[in-house]
Chain A
Amino acid sequence: MSGPQTPMAHRGTKLMRTWPLLTPVVFLLLVWSIVPLLMTLWFSFQRYNLVDPTITGFAGFDNYKFLLEDPAMLAAIFNEVVLVGSVLAITIVFGVAFAILFDQEFWGRSIARLFVIAPFFVMPTVSALIWKNLLMNPVSGVFAWITTKLGFGAIDWFTNYPMAGIVIIVAWQWIPFATLILLTAMQSLDREQMEAARMDAARGPQLLRFVIMPHLARPISILLMIETIFLLAIFAEIFITTSGGPGDATTTLTYLIYLRALVNFDVGGASAGGVLAIILANIMAFFLVRTIARNVNI
């Protein structure tokens, strides 16, 4: 049969031609992401403890039940939300402020920019150590030295305000990223639009509310999503500074999974925790995306 090919047939032949080339990559990626997920799911329904290999077999929802009935679990979810939420809020506020600041012309701007971006290049482990031992240490830390000089006495951050301490460290690491994203967004803001607003008598706060924030809404939403993904997995900072304590004051879901799997050797329980973390991340992402989509209707 001759004549023009239908679009369907055309697509078919094209697929036939590209399929052999695409398959290996697609297959690899699929295996890469699906296999760990399926294994986690599988383990979460198994009795599986590394300390006692005799405990085996299908556990049903026991691992989940055990986790959800565990008060540490609820505390961990709460801590996770507090940590991620606070860091998001702080990085956005500082990111916007720095972006507006570094969008202005001033002497030494490029050096100042470099300093603001720098923390992003410090490894999480290293920055946690610096903050713990050099800055926040109640005996030898710089903060303690300053507050003592001023007559307030030293604050023992990781004993009295452990979560605040970790939030500060993580926020310090993520402000540069927020600044970078928002600064590029600021630089794409139409200068004439700012000038039009000036002629319309918009001053500082009004300029921020009516011109700058609407322009930044979209990059902020993207920032929230990216940061959430990374912040849910925060581990090194907690491990180094408080090890989840005192008590479970800084035990997040990620850290709880670590405790279950590698301290208690309860692979089944840890996997169940992992699945719950995935669900939690999806719920947070869903609400974030929805609230943002509602606010950003450009």
Chain B
Amino acid sequence: MSTLEIKQLRKSYGSAEIIKGIDLKIEDREFVVFVGPSGCGKSTLLRMIAGLEEISGGELLIDGVRMNEITPDRRGLAMVFQSYALYPHMTVAGNMAFALRLAGVPKAEREQRVRVAAKTLQLEALLDRKPANLSGGQRQRVAIGRAIVRQPKAFLFDEPLSNLDAALRVQTRLEIAKLHRDLQATMIYVTHDQIEAMTLADRIVVFNAGRIEQVGTPLELYHNPANLFVAGFIGSPKMNLIGAVVRARTAQALELVLDGGSVVSVQPGDAAPGAKLTVGLRPEHIVVDPQGPISGHVEAVERLGNESIAYVSIGASLPLTVKLPPQSPVALGENLRLALNGHAVSLFGEDGHALGWTRPQAGG
């Protein structure tokens, strides 16, 4: 088990720079999730760590030792590929033991280690099967088993759940979390799905276009996004991001005019009168209130059973997403008033960076 440090890591294909200088330190036994939209370079970074892609610039240290020039097999890392990448002509046991076999580990020890891993993953009954005769979930577990058997310093996962159906995805997610607890191993996990990131990570690294946008625990990112990108990426349904102008600032309150004309008053933040801001409101932090400061018109209602999602036009370019209790009587086409329920309101400057967060004034 080990630490992993990345210093100013860069990757270019020809003239296109894909990874643009990344600094990150991953602690022993930490579960770090790289999350970001497709094509932002998460896989590339993971593959550079694994040694499958050459490093164009910067440094990769594992346990303090420079790894840039070390071949993939000597870095002590194990990778679980998105397509599982099992060897089709070998049995499950053969797949799992392959690395040990090449390393010259004696047969008895090999079998012992495969048995232990198979037990952890409930693969014992499948050891003699070929990958072609396994279900998707079983193949996934074999791929993880192949990594476990090597007893690596760190596990690398590249979107391991994206080929599974929704139900299996939830179950496997829980199994991976349990595996992390049981093995006490350092894990780096790549996904584009923010729910996977939120549920699995000790720490999330949010990527965008080859750069890190923010690093933090899931709740830090949720409550305190560093910029508009993270604010929009983390959380489901997405945070409402509405343009606003500061109308007045007093010792007690900051008055904001939202696009569409509604005026909300929040506890003073770091903004001068006349400043243009973006206000971030979580859908779950907005409530229906006949005395509320925001007036709107219901454009759509989605009833999910455990909650209802209303899309309320307030005259801004996008409707406000509001998460309501399931029995909420809100109806399509209705005019209603909304208030903020006292939770954090995020403020972002014109450059998209957070100005810190504040709370609505009591009484809206």
Contacts and interface: CB of A to CB of B under 8 A. Distances in A.
16 contacts: A192-B85, A195-B52, A195-B81, A196-B85, A196-B86, A197-B87, A198-B71, A199-B73, A199-B79, A200-B102, A206-B102, A210-B90, A211-B87, A214-B89, A215-B88, A298-B132
B362 interface: no
Interface string A273-298: 00000000000000000000000001
A116 to B, nearest CB: 27
A58 to B, nearest CB: 55
A199 B83 contact: no
Interface in A55-83: none
A200 B86 CA distance: 12
Nearest first, the 9 A-B pairs at minimum CB distance are A201-B73, A192-B85, A200-B99, A214-B89, A196-B85, A192-B81, A193-B85, A199-B72, A192-B83
Contacts of A210: 87, 90, 98
B98 A200 contact: yes
Nearest to B81: A192
Nearest to B89: A214
A200 B51 CA distance: 12
A117 interface: no
Interface string B98-112: 110011000000000
B82 interface: yes
B4 to A, nearest CB: 16
Nearest to A193: B85
A201 B103 contact: yes
Contacts of B204: none
Given A193-B85, A196-B87, A298-B88, 12 more contacts: A192-B83, A195-B72, A196-B85, A197-B98, A198-B71, A198-B73, A199-B52, A201-B74, A202-B98, A206-B102, A214-B88, A214-B89
A201 B99 contact: yes
Contacts of B85: 190, 192-193, 195-196
Contacts of B98: 197, 200, 202, 210
Contacts of A202: 98, 102
B77 interface: yes
Contacts of A206: 102
B98 to A, nearest CB: 5
B102 A199 contact: no
Interface string A205-238: 0100011001100000000000000000000000
Given A201-B102, A210-B98, A298-B88, A196 B81 contact: yes
B52 A198 contact: yes
Contacts of B52: 195, 198-199
B322 interface: no
Nearest to B82: A192
A200 B50 CA distance: 12
Contacts of B78: 199
Nearest to B156: A199
Given A199-B77, A214-B88, A298-B88, A190 B83 contact: yes
Interface residues of A, number: 17
B88 A198 contact: no
A193 B79 CA distance: 11
Nearest to B99: A200
Nearest to B130: A298
Contacts of A201: 73-74, 99, 102-103
Interface string A166-183: 000000000000000000
- Which of A196, A197, A202 has the most C-beta atoms of chain B within 10 angstroms of its own C-beta? A196
Contacts of B82: 192
A189 to B, nearest CB: 10
Interface string A248-280: 000000000000000000000000000000000
A243 B263 CA distance: 102
B76 to A, nearest CB: 10
Contact of B79 (A196, A211, A214, A298): A196
A196 B98 CA distance: 10
Given A193-B87, A298-B132, A200 B81 contact: no
Interface string A100-134: 00000000000000000000000000000000000
A196 B139 CA distance: 14
A198 B72 contact: yes
Contacts of B89: 214, 298
A199 B47 CA distance: 11
Nearest to A211: B87
Contacts of B83: 190, 192
Contacts of A198: 52, 71-73
Contacts of B88: 193, 214-215, 298
Contacts of A190: 83, 85
A200 B132 CA distance: 21
Nearest to A214: B89
B260 to A, nearest CB: 49
A2 B85 CA distance: 57
Contacts of A214: 87-89
A273 B52 CA distance: 59
Contacts of A193: 85-88
A201 B74 CA distance: 8
Interface string B26-70: 000000000000000000000000111000000000000000000
- Which of B51, B78, B79, B146 has the most C-beta atoms of chain A within 10 angstroms of its own C-beta? B79
Nearest to B79: A199
Nearest to A202: B102
A192 to B, nearest CB: 4
